Amino acid sequence: MPLEGKRVATEEIHCPFQTILDLDNSYLYMSTLTKSDSHTIKLSKRCVSCWARHRLTVVLATRQLFASAEDQQSTCAKTGCFQTRWFGTRYCYRHADDGLGTNWHSVPRYDPAQISSEFRGRQSHFMSAASKQWTSSEDIQLAMSRATEIRAGHRQGTDLVILDIEFCRSGQVKEVALIEYVSGRVLLNTLVKPM
């Protein structure tokens, strides 16, 4: 399996911090699954802090620095060091860093030359998309003004609701929920039994 496929596969796990990912807290990266696929710019499925923690965990595991489950020692395994262990490793921070080597954190995640040449061709498309300011439709503006009226007490909470319909893979409706937009009060939340 090519390295690119491995990298994409490792990112299938979503951010454990349940962060809502956007351009402010996540990485953009170039992705291809096979040689015949076109390159796609994607948003990482991990936030920046989660990605750093994940990357550190992978490096520590690769260098076999983690303590085993049977090891109950709480201090550094380096002879003569009595510092507390760091990040689940057998060592304190200083000695774990020695085991990692001096430049483990500077290893590029992607080949910068490849990205820059591939991205250069798509840069105008990306810059065009990123420069367009989103404006809300009249329907959205109406909903926002209605929410303001509900907050002010001029309307009932049920005058603006969210209809959430969940589907199963076959396309059949699986769950229906109705929620007041302003208060978040659940009016209906039910599973649907397929016929």
38-53 residue pLDDT tens: 667 777 778 887 877 8
Q: How confident is the model at residue 14 (pLDDT cuts 50, 70, 90)?
A: low
147 lies in the same domain as 180? yes
106 lies in the same domain as 57? yes
77 lies in the same domain as 28? no
Q: What pLDDT was estimated at residue 146?
A: 95
26 lies in the same domain as 89? no
76 lies in the same domain as 113? no
For the chain, the distance separating the N- and C-terminal CA atoms, rounded to the nearest angstrom, is 43
Mean pLDDT of 116-122: 61
163 lies in the same domain as 94? no
pLDDT exceeds cutoff 60 at 83: yes
107 lies in the same domain as 49? yes
Q: Is the dihedral angle over the CA atoms 49, 51, 53, 55 positive or is it negative? A: negative
- The percentage of residues in the chain with a pLDDT greater than 90, rounded to a whole number, is 21
Mean pLDDT of 174-191: 93
Higher pLDDT, 17 or 78: 78
Which residues partner with 28 through β-bridges? 43
15 lies in the same domain as 93? no
Mean pLDDT of 158-186: 91
Q: How confident is the model at residue 149 (pLDDT cuts 50, 70, 90)?
A: very high
Which of 8-22, 27-41, 90-104, 127-141 has the weakest average pLDDT?
Answer: 8-22
Return the structure tokens found at 13: 């796990």
Residue 15 burial (CB count, 10 A): 19
d(CA 58, CA 6): 13
How far does CA 125 lie from the centroid of its chain?
Answer: 24
Q: What pLDDT was estimated at residue 1?
A: 31
Domain tally, the chain: 3
Q: What pLDDT was estimated at residue 162?
A: 93
Higher pLDDT, 5 or 92: 92
d(CA 17, CA 23): 17
Range of the domain at 162: 138-191
Mean pLDDT of 15-36: 71
pLDDT exceeds cutoff 50 at 90: yes
Q: How confident is the model at residue 161 (pLDDT cuts 50, 70, 90)?
A: very high
Q: What pLDDT was estimated at residue 182?
A: 93
pLDDT exceeds cutoff 60 at 80: yes
Backbone angles phi, psi at 189, to 5 degrees: -150, 105
42 near 12, Cβ under 8 Å?
Answer: no
Where do the DSSP E strands lie in the chain?
26-31, 40-47, 161-167, 173-180, 186-191
96 lies in the same domain as 107? no
Higher pLDDT, 122 or 145: 145
92 lies in the same domain as 113? no
The per-residue pLDDT of the chain, averaged, comes to: 77
